[in-house]
Structure 1
Amino acid sequence: MTLRHEAFLDHVKERGDYDTPQEAERAARVVLALLGAHLVGQVRVQLAARLPEDFALILLNPLQSAEPLSPERFVRATAAWIEGATEQTATWDVSAVLSTVADTAGDDLLGQILLQLPVGYDLLFGHPQPT
């Protein structure tokens, strides 16, 4: 099921408690560009198929990452890409976007996504996994 652009952004805006849709959009673009660098193959394609088209393209044409970032470094990278962001605000941005992605993906695909990411991303997606 593909979410419409406005619906996806509304979820991000609500979860991130943003004042404007532009703030939600900026967070979504940065986080999806970083996430796309961490996912490969069918998992990335399947997730892209469930996202609004413009966000799917960002996921499929990601920022290049030399190595998988730990959750902490992912948040730091997000802060670096968002003007005026701190690690605290970036944590908020990442959680708002990734929890929306998790809902859009569904449990099965989310499980496959988490297998491609370093340990600890389950918390960023808002879906803590049993250890």
Structure 2
Amino acid sequence: MSMRRESFLACVQERGEYRTAEAAERAARIVLALLGAHLVGTVRAELAARLPETYALILLNPLQAAEPLSPQRFVRATAAWIEGATEKTALWDISAVLSTAADSAGDALTREILLQLPPGYDLLFGHPEPT
């Protein structure tokens, strides 16, 4: 396990306030698999290059999306994949993972990623907001 993977997961775990690294890992895998289905070409490759290898592979071999999901449907899809999740907890999961991915990507690449996504995803890439 590379340090990069550990630090990525530690960041997700802290932002998502997960009790265990396993919970953070599960969220990271599901959210990045769904995100990967929405990105194409060099943008997806560049993001993958900045993620730890485990997550890069997930991003590059995504769950196929028949159509781009709106942010609301992305949240619902995430909730469906995470056992015991609600839309509210899924939103928290997504935000923890995507804000960490955005930090890895940097501002310029994050802007390019958002251009490939339906409107409203910028909110999902923000830090989780305590309710």
> Secondary structure at 2:126's aligned position in 1?
coil
Alignment partner, residue 85 of structure 1: 85
Alignment partner, residue 114 of structure 2: 114
In structure 2, distance between residues paired with 1:40 and 1:11: 26
In structure 2, distance between residues paired with 1:17 and 1:31: 16
Q: Which amino acid aligns with 2:65?
A: S
> Secondary structure at 2:112's aligned position in 1?
helix
Q: Which amino acid aligns with 1:89?
A: T
Alignment partner, residue 10 of structure 2: 10
Q: How many correspondences in the alignment? A: 126
Root-mean-square deviation (Å): 1.3
Per-residue deviation, 1:14:
0.3
Alignment partner, residue 32 of structure 1: 32
Alignment partner, residue 75 of structure 1: 75
Q: Mind listing any 5+ residue stretches in structure 2 that lack a counterpart?
A: none
In structure 1, distance between residues paired with 2:53 and 2:98: 17
Per-residue deviation, 1:84:
0.6
- Give CA-to-partner distance per residue, 1:5-54, whole Å, 9 cap, x none: 00000000000000000000000000000000000000000000000001
Alignment partner, residue 95 of structure 2: 95
In structure 1, distance between residues paired with 2:41 and 2:57: 15
In structure 2, distance between residues paired with 1:11 and 1:80: 24
Per-residue deviation, 1:62:
0.1
Structure-2-length-normalised TM-score: 0.94
Q: Mind listing any 5+ residue stretches in structure 1 that lack a counterpart?
A: none
Per-residue deviation, 1:101:
0.6
Alignment partner, residue 62 of structure 1: 62
> Secondary structure at 2:89's aligned position in 1?
helix
> Secondary structure at 2:25's aligned position in 1?
helix
